[in-house]
Structure 1
Amino acid sequence: MAKKFFVKRAEVSNEGFRYRGLTSTRLENLTDAIFGFAITLLVIASQVPKTYVELQASMYSFIGFVFCIMLLLGLWNNHNSFFLHYGLQDKITKTLNFLFLFVLLFYVYPLKYLFSYLGTSIYARIMLSLGDNSEALRLVIGDLQGASMDSAQWKDLMIRFGLGLFFMYLFMFLMHLNALKRKVALELSLREVFITKTFIQAFAILIGITIVSMLIVILFGGESAAISGFAYLLVPVLLLTHRSYRNKKMKSLFDD
């Protein structure tokens, strides 16, 4: 009985969605390899420290590196969930997936630059407030001052960052929309159709947030870059609200 329970759990999600992509494909293997390569680029893009002070200074970028990895792993998890749920290998899915990977690789350096700058700035300010006056911190502050950007550059960077996220979320949105159009071929149940629609809605929310963020700097200039960045704090708020709504709706539709 225990064996049957674990098999069932492996084939059906907690929400009752039957997994159709339990077998890994060449397309998924290629995607995993490119995600791994993207993470590698985040590491090798940094210079190898030549002195111990430079090694200490490199630790100040740790926060930015963590945020980069979290974002990439979040994208990977969304991508993995799609293929696990639907297991599609049609031409539209392959084309959208290739476009997704292209943007991902192009997106790595703007992603690293932004998060490295912000993460290092935040950590340096924290250490300064704690009384740190080390040679490593002075080296970091000097690098930050040398990398200081003007208003036009901040505007350009936030637009580049937003466009990268916009297109990757858009491709995931279209992949789920394509899956919904193939609901008959995939034999999706009414519950699975509803869940698919909520996936589409979630990606629409993410796309909307990237648009809002870019519009802020487009309309108000690089001086509003901080506000543009804070717009992404809407992501957990709106997604949690949406998840709460979908869970209540699904319970009322299918569990009564």
Structure 2
Amino acid sequence: MRQLVKKKGEPMYGIFTARGRDASRLEQLSDCVFALAITMSLLSTQAPRNFDELTLFISDVVPFTLSMVAVMWIWHGHYQFFMRYGLRDIRIIVLNTFMMLIVLFFIYPLKFLSTWLVSYFTLLAKALLISNEYFRELNQMGTQMIPWSDMPELMIIYDCGFLSIYIAFVLMYRHAIKNGDSLNLSEAEVHATKSIIAHYTGIVAIGLISLFIALLGFLIDWEFSGLFAGVIYALIGPVSYFIGRKYDKPPLNSTSDHA
């Protein structure tokens, strides 16, 4: 997991010196928070008391998996930051605490949205491929889970959680690059850090567009704005690709060695 190799006597994490290879109590506490968030996602489903409820519990596997993958994706970004820089000053503690708070708050909206997406597209596939009768169940979802008119508000909640986490990442990496001299960052490490900041900034921009669409739909009562606010997240892949292409070539005079 730690992907460490030796270079000139120093453990490396990719092109970065593994400055945070010795996990502190801050990372250990954060790991506990991530584990708690995953547990909360699982416990949000009631334990089955009969076969019908057992079937319903099993059907919750996919939404739970989606939620867990999202949490683990955030955890991986968190892990990479501390492995690369090992910063544990007061600014990082504050930003990390804020991120952990959002992760715990974010898990229930995330699980709800995952459950709705799986249920909606499962019924839609059944209606298109099996029987038109499933369209009736599809329409009932508006009264059982959430009506389309409330989708913009759901996306506003989701967007705020999403943006808070990735803005925290941007601020953490900007803090790291400001402390480049004290961390003794090489030119290659500085270039990679700038690439990561650009990547997270692009993700934040997409989240802001989604939030704008959801807010607009809420203000003008455009119920399908929630759908468009969600679809906009498909831009993360292309935006990440183009940012990666821009930064894939380090400066000609850069090296992975320390000055």
TM bucket normalised to smaller: 0.7 to 0.9
- Over 3 Å counting, the alpha-carbon distance change for 1:122 and 1:246 in structure 2 is same
RMSD: 2.6
- What secondary structure is seen at the aligned counterpart in 1 of 2:88? coil
**Mean Cα deviation higher: 65-74 or 202-211:** 65-74
Partner Cα distance (2:31, 2:177) in 1? 24
Q: Deviations over 1:45-102 (max 9, x none)?
A: 1111222122223333333222211111110000000000000010000010001101
Q: Report the counterpart of residue 153 of structure 2 in structure 1.
A: 156
8 Å contact from structure 2 (residues 142, 148) kept in 1: no
* Kept in 2: contact 1:202–1:242 (CA 8 A): yes
1:92 matched residue in structure 2: 91
Give the structure 1 partner of residue 17 of structure 2. Answer: 18
CA change 1:6–1:211 in 2 (3 A) is closer
Matched to 2:22, the amino acid is T
Q: Distance in 2 between matches of 1:180 and 1:76?
A: 21
- What percentage of residue pairs aligned between the two structures are identical? 26
Contact 1:60 1:120 in 2 (8 A): no
Aligned counterpart, 1:240: 241
Q: Distance in 1 between matches of 2:140 and 2:44?
A: 16
Residue number among 184, 192, 196 corresponding to 2:189 in the alignment: 192
Supply the distance in 1 between the matched residues of 2:58 and 2:143 (Cα, whole angstroms): 18
Distance of aligned partners of 1:40 and 1:11 in 2 relative to their CA distance in 1, 3 Å threshold: same
Amino acid at match of 2:250: M
Change (3 A) 1:155 1:10: farther
CA distance in 1, matches of 2:200, 2:212: 18
DSSP-derived class of the 1:11 partner: strand
Which residue of structure 1 aligns with residue 201 of structure 2?
A: 204
Q: Which runs of no fewer than 5 residues in structure 1 stay unpaired?
A: none
Deviation at 1:35?
Answer: 0.2
The answer on whether the counterparts of 2:188 and 2:251 sit within 8 Å (CA) in structure 1 is no
Partner of 1:82: 81
Which structure has greater helix proportion?
1
- Residue 108 of structure 1 is matched in structure 2 by 107
Partner Cα distance (1:61, 1:143) in 2? 19
Aligned position for 1:175: 172
TM-score, normalised with respect to structure 2: 0.85
Are 2:215 and 1:231 equivalent residues in the alignment? no
What do residues 156-185 of structure 1 show as CA deviations (whole Å, max 9, x unaligned)?
Answer: 110000000101101111011111110111
Amino acid in structure 1 at the alignment position of 2:238: V
The 3 A distance-change label for structure 1 pair 251 and 192 is: same
Distance 1:241 1:230 in 2: 19
**CA distances 1:193-225 after superposition (whole Å, capped 9, x unpaired):** 111111111111111111000111222333221
Conserved? CA contact 1:61–1:120, under 8 Å: no
Cα distance between partner residues in 2 of 1:145 and 1:96? 38
Q: Deviations over 1:111-141 (max 9, x none)?
A: 11111111122223334555489xxx9xx86
In structure 2, what is the Cα distance between the partners aligned to 1:160 and 1:246? 32
